[in-house]
Structure 1
């Protein structure tokens, strides 16, 4: 059994993924300005039990809401010690969405999902497109809706982003993506 991941290493791998995949492959055209900004919060949770995962999520939700956007624009909540199974992750993501709604923040904060084994339903397991939502660790991205609206409004064609990502990832090919992926862990 391998030792539990060290939070500092988890954050470094997450930042490398952001630089190499999210920004490096231009999967999110809005991410580049935040890449090196102190307003990008990466919170590494050491929680492993369900109740502790929920508390970690609610604490980050509260922190995002109680802090000005200039200080915390967006938060990546990373779970290196839990949710290794993609199905378990999806179950928890549903719980997180429910907690968000119960807090009255639906329409104020939105969640984006990333997981090492991310697979889009209906796509072949070997599809390169899965890499658009793969991250080194199970991750929930908490985004301020107002910020997303401002960014999307300023983009010439936000609806085309997912399709362009699939085309770009397919053009690179799974082998190239796997090589880049493994480099995150070296």
Structure 2
């Protein structure tokens, strides 16, 4: 890993490579990782207004750089509280609408304490969206639509991920995330 990267980005890249790609949680991530078409941005913001301004800049960056397929905005210090992070995600989706980028960019979210609605805090399924740092993933929607159109049974991906997360178990994911933070 490159030493000029922010430590939160290095740790996120390791999670992406070993968990998201390694466990095939996202069957589309490997190509972009290998082709180096993922933009990583380490944010130092912890206040919603500043973070939204930065997200608008990152959305614009993605639009202006067609060679970049997707972006990860990694919150190195802010939004550790999951409820506060969910507020940011809600505002980010509103921002997407106000910037008239619906149909161009989609938002996916990852957080160290991610809990799916209706799941217990200890459910292994939460680890399909648990990351080393709070992260907003900006996805080019037309590209995702193209990939999904040729992927067999894309609606099965979340269920497959949940089953694999249960097979691996909470201990596996906790150990991995602890090892990432020791880097």
CA deviation after TM superposition for structure 1 residue 36, in Å? 3.4
CA deviation after TM superposition for structure 1 residue 48, in Å? 2.5
CA distance in 2, matches of 1:172, 1:38: 28
| SS at structure 2 position matched to 1:75 | strand
Aligned Cα RMSD in Å? 1.3
Gaps of 5+ in 2: none
Partner of residue 167, structure 2: 171
Partner of residue 140, structure 1: 136
1:35 and 2:33 are equivalent in the alignment = yes
1:130 and 2:148 are equivalent in the alignment = no
1:79 and 2:75 are equivalent in the alignment = yes
Partner of residue 99, structure 1: 95
Partner of residue 105, structure 2: 109
Gaps of 5+ in 1: 1-5
CA distance in 2, matches of 1:150, 1:50: 33
Partner of residue 65, structure 2: 67
Partner of residue 3, structure 1: none
**TM-score, length of structure 2 as denominator length:** 0.94
CA deviation after TM superposition for structure 1 residue 185, in Å? 1.5
**TM-score, length of structure 1 as denominator length:** 0.92
